[in-house]
Structure 1
Amino acid sequence: MSYVGPDFDPQPPRRPRRRPLTVALVALVPGALLGWGAYAAFGGSDDGGGSSDKAAVGTPTASARSTDPERPSETPTEPTTSPSESTAPSPSGPLAGKVVVIDPGHNPGNFQHTAEINRKVDIGTAMKECDTTGTATNSGYREADFTLDVAHRMRTLLEKQGATVELTHDGDRSYGPCIDERARIGNKAEADAVVSLHADGAGSGNRGFHVILPGAVNSGAADTRPIVAPSKNLGERIAGAFVRVTGSAPSNYVGDGTGLVTRKDLGGLNLSTAPKVFIECGNMRDSKDAAQLTSEAWRQKAAQGISEGIAGFLEK
């Protein structure tokens, strides 16, 4: 994936949070990921999140479309409402009072706005492009369509548990938002957790998911030091739940088999004042991963796994 965003506003004072997860719970992910080392068949990220083989800005795949004609017709395993429908948060759910911001990486219209998304924005440590087009499967299923679909499914699941859910975009704008604006949306919402959704564009044979955590940055408008520890907690819980629900293995090409990667070059993380992670749900350029990413049933599992990880973090 590739991720980038515009003007950073200082964050208003945040409401107090509960104390970080105890050391005992931090052991959750290593246990959840145990045994995947043998999954040798499985195989990073720009501010879209991912690896170097992202689709070139302004040059979408010729066959790019929102559905993949090569996948069989499937029935989603969960939503009782349409994935794109938002339901009122349950006032008595376990996540009542919690705010979650979901950031669907990229935008299907980015390729039509190359000048706008190539504009540089300040991410604290450097100047970076506003956004990118993202990647796509070899048959044309776009990352931007994937991320928006999973975001809708997550919103339904989290609202049923009482959370207030906000998306950084909902297919309601022609391009973007830029990476700095995406961070600002989570900050202004005073989110309890923010997750940026992506799928990678690495070489064939590279498989599996990875969660990107913010490194400690203190430069210009960026100061991630207060969110490093809670973001790691959030990322570990998401990784553990993602393995359990989807059956996917951690990446075989980054993260040393842990499914966790720390980075300091992503504006969406650098400019966040709320606990935030990115997740690369798989590699669109690998045929086996692509078969999962284009499956409605698997996307529902992905949404459930990420949502369960968020819920575990918020309920601590």
Structure 2
Amino acid sequence: MSYRGPEFDALQSRPRRSRRAALTVAAAALVPGALLGWLVYEAVGGSEGSGGPAGQAAPAPTGADPSSPSPSAGSPSASSTAAPTASRSADKPGTSAAPGAPAPLKGKVVVIDPGHNAGNFQHTADINRKVDIGTGLKECDTTGTSTNAGYTEAKFTLDVAHRLRTLLEQQGATVKLTHDGDRPFGPCIDERARIGNTAKADAVVSIHADGSAAGNRGYHVILPAAVHQGAADTRPIVGPSRDLGERIAGNFLRVTGSAPSNYVGGGTGLVTRKDLGGLNLSTVPKVFIECGNMRDSKDAALLAGGAWRQKAAQGISEGIVSFLRG
């Protein structure tokens, strides 16, 4: 997903924190115990480069998925060696329930929203139709971005969504997807919000990968701002959505070893926005996660790997489990 609009322009214009300051803020705001994950990340390449202009257009997809899941990559225990933490943001890891044990998420409903759709490229007129998001009008959907090698965001998000669904169902949750690659395009952003609302979901997570400039690296979780305008009223969900987002961000750092974004969020891995229809129109706790930047070669190499995508799903799952168990 790319960034455009006055809110992001204002965010980009703020003075950039130093790399050391960003690390300090990330550690304080997320999970002190996850610092080991950051150090591992630095050891294998670290975050680099300065923030450049975001929102680079995605090339048309080649249809090639550079990595498909293998049995070892799909194992729910991919994060078994991750650093432990005592922080609220990364407690109660979402490992599979033991046979015969009560399912910890029984009765809970989780909606997973895989960002974009592989068919959007062939339906530009449909996805360019404007819908009301409360604060104004916005395109029904977008094509999303892709790596330089042509691995699309839509393929990435659907793959992670499938992995995440499996992990959450192992915990006893009822899991619904906003789409499963079974429709020609979309759904539109207002419909994506309605699906979570209609399901009375206990948590909704929209999965994305960013399309920012090369050198911009790391993940970030997008939280809903307090919006009360038109059909949008996020005031009741701002607090629980932040709780959900903090727990996902902390567990994602711990399990994947990836660093928080070095170009938005001031090193915290958290960003608040009011220009996303999927958040504005939600009446249940909901966040977006940008798992990395597809336009950076180092992040792209991670996102294209099946083993890393399993870790990403595991980190998100553990954050959701922590939130739902309280």
TM-score (norm 1): 0.80
The letter for the 1-side match of 2:60 is P
Q: Residue in 1 aligned with 2:248?
A: 238
Look up the SS of the partner of 1:207 in the other structure: coil
The letter for the 2-side match of 1:53 is Q
Indicate if the aligned counterparts of 1:91 and 1:162 stay in contact, CA closer than 8 A.
Answer: no
Indicate if the aligned counterparts of 2:244 and 2:285 stay in contact, CA closer than 8 A.
Answer: yes
Q: Residue in 1 aligned with 2:74?
A: 78
1:52 to 45, 52, 55: 55
Distance 1:263 1:307, change over 3 A: same
Q: Residue in 2 aligned with 1:31?
A: 32
Give the deviation of 1:75 after TM superposition. Answer: 5.3
**CA–CA distance in structure 2, aligned partners of residues 286 and 72 of structure 1:** 21
Look up the SS of the partner of 2:308 in the other structure: helix
**CA–CA distance in structure 1, aligned partners of residues 72 and 228 of structure 2:** 43
1:99 to 109, 115, 121: 109
Q: Residue in 2 aligned with 1:260?
A: 270
Between Structure 1 and Structure 2, the one with more helix by share is: 2
Alpha-carbon RMSD: 2.4
Give the deviation of 1:78 after TM superposition. Answer: 2.8
2:47 to 22, 41, 50: 41
Using the aligned pairs only, state the percent identity.
Answer: 71
In structure 1, runs of 5+ residues without a counterpart are 4-26, 44-50, 81-89
Indicate if the aligned counterparts of 2:29 and 2:268 stay in contact, CA closer than 8 A.
Answer: no
**CA–CA distance in structure 2, aligned partners of residues 132 and 305 of structure 1:** 26
Q: Residue in 1 aligned with 2:137?
A: 127
Look up the SS of the partner of 1:277 in the other structure: strand
**CA–CA distance in structure 1, aligned partners of residues 172 and 48 of structure 2:** 36
Give the alignment of 1:1-316 within 5 angstroms. 1=1, 29-32=30-33, 34=35, 36=38, 39=42, 41-42=47-48, 51-55=54-58, 60-61=60-61, 64-68=62-66, 76-79=72-75, 92-316=102-326
Q: How many residues align?
A: 271
Give the deviation of 1:139 after TM superposition. Answer: 0.3
Distance 1:34 1:121, change over 3 A: same
The letter for the 2-side match of 1:228 is V
Look up the SS of the partner of 1:109 in the other structure: helix
**CA–CA distance in structure 1, aligned partners of residues 296 and 30 of structure 2:** 25
Give the deviation of 1:29 after TM superposition. Answer: 1.9
Distance 1:217 1:243, change over 3 A: same
Indicate if the aligned counterparts of 1:102 and 1:197 stay in contact, CA closer than 8 A.
Answer: yes
**CA–CA distance in structure 2, aligned partners of residues 201 and 125 of structure 1:** 24
Look up the SS of the partner of 1:196 in the other structure: strand
Indicate if the aligned counterparts of 1:42 and 1:251 stay in contact, CA closer than 8 A.
Answer: no
The letter for the 2-side match of 1:52 is G
Indicate if the aligned counterparts of 2:133 and 2:276 stay in contact, CA closer than 8 A.
Answer: yes
Give the deviation of 1:53 after TM superposition. Answer: 1.4
**CA–CA distance in structure 2, aligned partners of residues 253 and 76 of structure 1:** 33
Indicate if the aligned counterparts of 1:2 and 1:131 stay in contact, CA closer than 8 A.
Answer: no
Can you list the C-alpha shifts for 1:66-87, whole angstroms capped at 9, x where unaligned?
A: 412xx6996542348xxxxxxx
Look up the SS of the partner of 2:321 in the other structure: helix
Indicate if the aligned counterparts of 2:2 and 2:56 stay in contact, CA closer than 8 A.
Answer: no
Distance 1:118 1:253, change over 3 A: same
**CA–CA distance in structure 1, aligned partners of residues 106 and 68 of structure 2:** 38
